[in-house]
Amino acid sequence: MMARKVLALNGDEAAAYAVKQCKPDVIAAYPITPQTIIVERLSDFVADGELDAEFIAVESEHSAMSACIGASAMGARAYTATASQGLALMYEMLFVASSFRLPIVMSVANRALNSPLNIWNDMSDTMGARDCGWIQIYNENSQEVYDFTIQAFRIAEDHRVLLPVMVCHDGFVVSHSTEGVEVLSDGEVDSFLPPRDPVYPLDVEKPVTIGCVGVPEYYPEIKYQQEVATKKSIETIKEILREFNESFGRSYGIVEEYRTDGAEVALLTIGSISGTAKEAVDEMRAEGKPVGLLKLRLFRPFPIEALRKSLSGLKVVGVVDRHISFGSCMGGALNMEVRAALYEMKDRPHVMGFPTGLGGRDIRVEHFLKIIDELLMIAEQDALEEEYKVVGCRGPGCIGP
């Protein structure tokens, strides 16, 4: 086999390159920092004739999602990208897309929500949209953005799934960071991702009605059907992931373990922060501390089984959220979810949350060393004093600065 090309791409460029190879029929988007590069590149590809797609420059994100819904209902392969306030404006239509069971792929360059006005990275946007019925995949670097954008189309369009997929990467930290990305050939992508085969496309010859009234006598049945499909999609996602790994020499998982052999405490991370956390784990390991790391790839559907398996045997888990779920009992949504998943497990580890890196606060290896120290202390005392502590914040009760 010929060596694959390695291109210098930032996270946004990696997403755009992957989307181009996936040959969407319709791209409807509104530019918003920090995903703007994705849309810019795609409109270039269309204008230059490299991509035969309908590029709809809409007037808002609400319209972007509406256009994707219409296109996908027609049987088209539809794509959009957004971030932060843009995703918030789309909120209403996110539910419509998933409830219609339409395979739409959307890149989200994760970014904080106002106010105070902030354009920087955290996960307030997609974590707030976690209950919209979309599959959510989180990526650590440009390579993962590329690989999972391609898989997202396969997952979304699989007849056992038929759900929209959000492919998330951290704004700026990944979206604007240039790295080497090993790209597949167009032929390889074509063989992995066949053209979409729509199940009930809108067709005047064979009309169907989508989105009709669901009276209380029918609504629960239709919603439960959607819930079952969403939960079951995890098996298909795993199967597609395995095929991707085998075909292209990758080694991704739903929950990825890093130096967990013999670990007593572990960090549980999501997104790009995982990279910096791995450095801290390496430093601690060099000192002989029994520390490991688990990286969560998939947040929706939540990989309960895989997580329980990975976490069993640990004494303490530090869950690193990238947002605050205000007024919740556990600081962040990831921490809540992990704790809930472990509740019925015998010999479950202590779980402490660490909402981290809010609004673009740079999180360094030192921050993680402090977190790990805290985890080791909990392991020693076999007791947890606080459910969560914000990291990267000045003042009492926080791990700063």
Residue 223 or 309: the one with the smaller Cβ distance to other proteins is: 223
Q: Is 207 helix (H, G, I), strand (E, B) or coil?
A: coil
The DSSP secondary structure of 138-187, one letter per residue, reads: EESSHHHHHHHHHHHHHHHHSTTT---EEEEEETTTTTT-EEEEEPPPHH
CA distance 62 to 54: 18
Who contacts 312 (Cβ-Cβ below 8 Å, separation ≥6)?
Answer: 345, 347, 348
Residue 56 or 284: the one with the smaller Cβ distance to other proteins is: 284
CA distance 346 to 192: 41
Residue 4 or 238: the one with the smaller Cβ distance to other proteins is: 4
Cβ 283 to other proteins, closest distance in Å?
Answer: 9
Cβ 348 to other proteins, closest distance in Å?
Answer: 28
Give the dihedral of Cα atoms 251, 252, 256, 260; nearest 10 deg: 0
Cβ 96 to other proteins, closest distance in Å?
Answer: 11
CA distance 229 to 189: 26
CA distance 202 to 59: 25
Supply 1's token pair: 């086999």
Cβ 388 to other proteins, closest distance in Å?
Answer: 22
Residue 214 or 249: the one with the smaller Cβ distance to other proteins is: 214
Cβ 23 to other proteins, closest distance in Å?
Answer: 26
Cβ 346 to other proteins, closest distance in Å?
Answer: 32
Q: How many angstroms separate the Cα of 189 from the Cα of each of 138, 160, 195?
A: 21, 21, 11
Residue 34 or 349: the one with the smaller Cβ distance to other proteins is: 34
- Applying CB under 8 A, the residues found at the interface with other proteins are 6, 8, 10, 99-101, 119-121, 141, 172-174, 176-180, 199-200, 206-210, 212, 214, 217-218, 220-222, 224-226, 228, 272-276, 278-279, 360, 362-365
Residue 33 or 325: the one with the smaller Cβ distance to other proteins is: 33
